[in-house]
Chain A
């Protein structure tokens, strides 16, 4: 952390971001909200007409709705990596970006959570998935990976939201103590009357540690469970034991890229350069190289095992992925996720903010295509040649996808202007690394 930072300068920098926004901000909010309404309109149209307005059809019944579901759940994961796993590892570079990454997690899970509802078609029957007494005397089957998913995603959303809010308490008190009138009253309630008494800190630090310790296995379990939605079937390309670690690494890879995509503009607009230093972004970039290598290793392992197994269906499945109808998508995936991130091995690249931003966007695109290749590529070309078929998303699906992206950015943009997007307390803590009192 740069030496010029003081407690006061940290507070001033973060609190300056909460001043009344300019018109350009509200214009951006309006555009994003229009996108949300457009997506909602497309969904409404699908509800009125039927799920057939989407491009899903025999043999591809899992289309962009499931791609987007996995994509957004994946995005969420790096927030928990930064806030929980790196907290346990005591990595100080995570402190300036932890809040924004946690916020990204919560909003990404909310966005992801919409897609199973959209994919259901008859969304009003969603209660079928809840274990509640009902007139049908039917109960959810907890042996199904889809029910694992319901439990895992609900738990993840609840835990991430509680972790996020608990982490914000000291900062909400900082805002309360500088606010007046109605704003003071609102933050007084939101901060739960936080006073920074040592007695509160004593329990808080312990509770926060347990939060991190619980969120760490949870985040690994959630994307493992998402991967089992596929791996527990018998479809070639899905039915593999590598899926859980492959999905977890991919999730963190995409999430870290999204962290850069969000942090870099935030850093410029809110003048966070002294807090979110180039070293912090560089640390994220190095982690992206690491996760990119794991993902690349997984791509290679899948092909190796298909060849090594001598299973003709498996071999054909992976041959077709690389050289079949979706070869372009496959090579976009490989290039964007494993080749281009290797550029970050060069210090010049990872210290160039513009290049970092561009590479983060490329990885986001690549990770979306990874889900396309996995989900579509497997069911479009499984056991029976006469059952093979292709899939193209319909305009309604594109509309819903645009709406989902707008919803995520709409929530994030609203948050960063009304709540502290950098944890003042955690950045202040980094100023004290290695300091000890004379006693």
Chain B
């Protein structure tokens, strides 16, 4: 982080005003560092235009491992005890699809959880210094960075857009 820059947090009381401020900030040279929201807002998502999450790849890999794992487990246990039961062949493919399916879902969900916690970098044991406890209730936060000599200008920008400013020295 360059030493001659500052971060300012604008705290909005509505989703729309936060999204409008994000739209306008993206037209300036200032950098949006973080956005906090109590809900998964599509309005803010439209304003931020973030890339698609990669969690799905973890889910897919988990699912593939699960399917072949479940199928192989069923095959392995049958081959370890090669007894014909109910006239069905020892290597009975059809019933094993059920085992394969259940394992697909199980491991896809494990992959999904792993993808979620690794991509979102959870768990976090410390909240950042600029975090405002109202972000989990009813406030939307937009943290923007500017050069030190533009601090007043960015503050004015937030105020004009209806934000409350977090002037915490730790920012």
Q: B-contacting residues of A (Cβ < 8 Å)?
A: 6-8, 11, 131, 137-144, 147-148, 151-152, 154-155, 158-159, 162-163, 166, 170, 173-174, 176-178, 188-189, 192-207, 210-211, 214-215, 217-218, 221, 225, 425, 428-429, 432, 435-439
Contact = CB atoms under 8 A, between A and B. Distances in A.
A11 B105 CA distance: 34
A137 B81 CA distance: 8
A198 B95 contact: no
Query: In this complex, which of B41, B108, B112 has the most chain A Cβ atoms within 10 angstroms of its Cβ?
Result: B112
Interface in B24-81: 34-48, 50, 52-53, 55-56, 59, 70, 73-74, 76-78, 80-81
B36 A159 contact: no
Contacts of B168: none
Query: Interface SS of chain A: helix, strand, loop or mixed?
Result: helix
A106 B88 CA distance: 36
Contacts of A148: 95, 98-99, 102
B50 A151 contact: no
Interface string B114-133: 01110111111111100101
B127 A158 contact: no
Nearest to B118: A203
8 contacts: A151-B70, A162-B109, A177-B134, A196-B38, A202-B50, A211-B112, A214-B112, A435-B15
Closest 5 CB pairs of A and B: A193-B124, A7-B138, A139-B77, A142-B74, A192-B123
A94 to B, nearest CB: 16
Given A155-B105, A201-B40, A439-B19, A142 B77 contact: yes
B5 interface: no
A143 B86 CA distance: 10
Given A8-B138, A200-B120, A439-B23, A151 B38 contact: no
Contacts of A202: 45, 50, 53, 120
Given A151-B70, A201-B40, A438-B20, A193 B112 contact: no
Name the interface size band of chain B.
35 or more
Contacts of A193: 122-127
B80 A151 contact: no
Nearest to A221: B101
Nearest to B127: A195
Contacts of A174: 38, 136-137
B157 interface: no
A159 B106 contact: yes
Contacts of A7: 38, 137-138
A197 B36 CA distance: 4
Contact of B124 (A141, A162, A195, A439): A195
Contacts of B146: none
B50 to A, nearest CB: 5
A148 B76 CA distance: 16
Contact of B98 (A140, A225, A429): A225
Contacts of B148: none
Contact of B55 (A178, A210, A436, A437): A210
B136 A143 contact: no
A199 to B, nearest CB: 7
Contacts of B122: 192-194, 200
A138 B81 contact: yes
Interface in B122-165: 122-128, 131, 133-138
B16 interface: yes
A437 B20 contact: yes
A159 B122 CA distance: 19
B105 A159 contact: yes
Nearest to A147: B99
B135 A196 contact: yes
Nearest to A160: B109
Nearest to B92: A143
Given A155-B106, A202-B50, A195 B116 contact: no
Contacts of B19: 437, 439
Given A11-B138, A177-B136, A438-B20, A170 B38 contact: yes
Contacts of A144: 85
Nearest to B140: A196
A162 B119 contact: no
Contacts of B56: 206, 210
B6 interface: no
Contacts of B43: 432, 435-437
Contacts of A142: 73-74, 77-78, 95-96, 99
